[in-house]
Structure 1
């Protein structure tokens, strides 16, 4: 392997390129028309245009990606996450073109990528799973029969996708027909398949996942767990490693179950096995993500491992350099997904020009970023700007460090969810780790504290300028690059309100 094409954009493309550069590998970026000036393009050794802004005409075009690989002389493709990262047909096409796909083989994707097939694989691997159907539902009558057998409440889910699309919670038989039609229709629009399945709705569960890494020589490791229970509409918002409620015994049992599933499916490379854990600490298989996860940095922080480097070495045919007993977990890491969206307006996307960007730093702070000051955030893609990660010896210290890092973070010109993270991190239930998958919805339903309102980005920038100007007139030399919270405080003193 000499040169890697990163078939993605934004922060994950930059993150993969950094490890490639450390390993002496050449990097090739691809971009759509709206991404011509994107950060990942600037980071790459070479960059090639794919097509128009729509993902269906650019990042989802496997034929265009393979053509770029041929022209650039790239002998491997890293798909990142999203787009074609879990597309078995693309993995097959890479193999046919003689290009290494840095991910699992297509046969493993097919065995585990579909939620219904993954449930069948879980049964074959003797894994505990949530009760429900193991195949797609053919009719609403079948759905009613299965729901009657396992008992309400139940959850309808799309077999072909995730991210909350095609999901409906159902409390009674009277609600099921309409929910079935809605879930199937949404699944068809989102994934091209209307197949749905049904499972028991576990009350107040935690969403905990196990990171696995497998090589081509029959070795597979589990690298601890991640707590992903802080979610909005089934989309993760904050991730932690390790989980505050998982002890050594539960970690071992979940990890061994995850490895058993991966080995039984012939899995190779990085993957994540997701579980629901109930209040009695019973765990149930949920699904497997056959790719690198958005939240992989928290695992890297507590293990000291570079998961992308491990992916690349596995793809080169190298055996894993570790044994399970060599894996050591240390400290605690927290990740916040920074989005260009407006929590005050139903989390509506907030594309536009980033007029100001002051990024946090200091001990124990990592930021995987995909934007820069002067960049225009496009409307065409997921609005993630960066992933902010903090690490410390304890959970309490990692949270305190995250609060400090968020206070340093300034993004002007657009709305972001930074204020939401401050609200979560200040919440007593979160600090006590009394969380489950419904925690954030309950928090958002409560009235926000009035003591520290979120100040619009343009007001923050104006307050900063006024403060700096006044300080200079008084003979002080105050840098503008200070924390958003400081400028927000200035704005409040000056009577500037949202």
Structure 2
């Protein structure tokens, strides 16, 4: 019997495995980088072990140190989570050679399927050296991992070499393996996968289908089970193919077989992920199971039931990211002051209130999962929960998720992997509450008046004025103190204190919950505002064409031949930053002449650092 499990991972998946272990009475061990010393997964484990590393990104790739940590901590089993070393056969062997239980498939099965290149060879897919103009478009992918890292769509052969270089760099950073391969890119396809579970006694379950078509940068954003609008015969065929793939490599444990379904409902094999998937909670919800508990049971040699459980209802998962979808999906950093969702939905996260969102790892904050008898009910439940969630901290994709879940193309199950390519502008169009700045001003005034500031005056006076930034625009708020209380044009102030403002507009009363952090960050319901000084600083202006770092990160390369004096066009890539395990292209903001270049490869830059200046022409 397993008594102590070390999770060779971090963040949300480590916390999720620990949760099941606690329920089963199994002790837990966490490993952490220096950057993760105070991370939630390190705080909730029974024991922790620090892993040294040249960079935080590579720490969790140090397999030999993780095995030593497991032995030193008295663990008798290792769970790899997903990403990092979860599909590394050498790591699995090292765990087994140390006399520990490996909670995953045999190393031989990992070797047969976890490397996408070897899996593609088994399936007869074209290799890189045979790509020609007729094959376009193609998809460049990392061989050793998933999660969208090291993935690029190539539509012109002249772009292939540059995209291969970028993909190899990302793959090396994320998985310690820079091998990449090329496969056909199916336009208008749906990403559908099958969850499998196999024991050591020959039983293999196919646990329905999942649709993961809504993706950004080839990384899934919204997933659901079962895949909607999929012909029953095709769903059955996918299940049979998944079971056949598992049996072909003597698979054990949890895994996923992924397919791309073309518009004419033809299935194209993508890969087999020999690990637990990020989206596994939707399958758990539909089948009423705990996949991690079943992984542990299989690792202990226990058999599965002959037949899998029966599916019930529909489940949808949304990944909440600290990123700005309206600006090239730029990752965001800072303090996560508060994260809470309404009751009735599942929240899987690796963060808690007050944690810092750094630059070293994936920007996913949490996964929110809704289960209901029908798809329509699950959609409404999840969209409502996200809309009502309290998220105080960096910019997130919350609005994008809510709008996606309510978009007609998605509600009618006519989506495909190009959904965001078509609809991103409309899904990210700001819709701030026009009364939020007034509510913020009234709450702030009340809070300050308790300590001697503000208050009504006996003589007529000029209105009180406050300024806020909201959704990229500045708002100047005017209001008065009177004997009757606070007043503002166009509304009736029913109540105002530091935390709650009630306004009546055209006979309708609305409540505004107000929360302030520090001197300038204000949250009014789900709207984020920044308090501005009454009088703007005239010296705080940047030169036109200034290019600032959108996040802290490392300059990995500069465009070939780029130098001060060069002519550039708006949108030209000037340099690349690496942050949160991905490369981010920094482009010229305007057409003109490069008059300053303050970035060199290997340089660490902070948020809003001046990288370059392009003098407009």
Aligned partner of 1:495 in structure 2 is none
Q: Separation in 1 of the partners of 2:439 and 2:33?
A: 31
What SS class does the counterpart of residue 229 from structure 2 fall into?
coil
* 4+ residue runs over 6 A deviation: 458-461, 473-479, 489-492
The one-character-per-residue Cα deviations of 1:158-210 (angstroms, maximum 9, x if unpaired) are 44444444444444xxx32x333124323432335665444333220000010
* 1:112-191 mapped onto 2 (5 Å cutoff): 112-122=113-123, 132-133=125-126, 136-137=127-128, 139=129, 142-144=130-132, 148=134, 151-171=135-155, 175-176=156-157, 178-191=158-171
Q: Which runs of 5+ in 2 are unaligned?
A: 448-494, 503-510, 516-521, 531-617
Residues 400-422 of structure 1 show CA distances to partners (whole Å, capped at 9, x for unaligned) of 11122112222223111111112
Question: SS of 2:395's equivalent?
Answer: coil
Question: Corresponding residue for 1:328?
Answer: 310
Distance 1:14 1:79, change over 3 A: same
What does 1:73-112 correspond to in 2, within 5 Å? 73-112=74-113
The 3 A distance-change label for structure 1 pair 475 and 17 is closer
Contact persistence 2:446–2:497 (CA under 8 A): yes
Larger Rg over CA atoms: 2
Deviation of 1:485 after TM superposition, in Å, equals 9.8
User: CA 1:486–1:115 in structure 2 vs 1: closer, same or farther (change >3 Å)?
Assistant: same
Distance of aligned partners of 1:191 and 1:467 in 2 relative to their CA distance in 1, 3 Å threshold: same
Kept after mapping to 2: 8 A contact 1:121/1:265? no
Paired position in structure 1 for 2:331:
349
CA distance in 2, matches of 1:460, 1:242: 45
- 1:333-384 per-position Cα deviation (integer Å, ceiling 9, x unaligned): 11111111122332211111122x1411323x00001111111112111111
Question: In structure 1, how many angstroms separate the alpha carbons of the residues matched to 2:282 and 2:322?
Answer: 22
Does 1:61 pair with 2:40?
no
Match of 1:415 in 2: 395
1:358–1:408 Cα contact (<8 Å) kept: no
Measure the CA separation in 1 of the matches of 2:140 and 2:499.
64
Tell me which moved more, 283-292 or 52-61. Answer: 52-61
Equivalences for 1:244-393 in 2 at 5 Å? 244-320=228-304, 322-324=305-307, 326-355=308-337, 357-363=338-344, 365-393=345-373
Deviations 1:104-145 (A, max 9, x none): 11111110011121124446xxxxxxxx41xx43x4xx322x
TM-score normalized by the length of structure 2 = 0.69
Point out where structure 1 has 5 or more consecutive residues left out of the alignment.
124-131, 493-498
Report which of the two has the higher share of strand: 2
Kept in 2: contact 1:369–1:385 (CA 8 A) = yes
Residue 199 of structure 2 aligns with which residue? 215
Partner of 1:225: 209
Structure with the higher fraction of residues in helix conformation: 1
1:437-459 deviation digits (Å, cap 9, x = unpaired): 00112111447555x2399xx98
What's the C-alpha RMSD, in Å, of the aligned pairs?
3.1
TM-aligned CA distance change 1:472 to 1:179, over 3 Å: closer
Count of aligned positions: 463
Asked whether the 8 Å contact 1:241–1:332 carries over to 2, the reply is yes
In 1, Cα distance between equivalents of 2:152 and 2:499: 60
1:37, CA displacement in angstroms? 1.7
Higher relative contact order (CA 8 A, sep 6+): 1
Partner Cα distance (1:374, 1:485) in 2: 15
Conserved? CA contact 1:464–1:487, under 8 Å: no
> For the residues of structure 1 that align with 2:441 and 2:370, how far apart are their CA atoms?
28
Offset of 1:7 from its aligned partner? 1.2
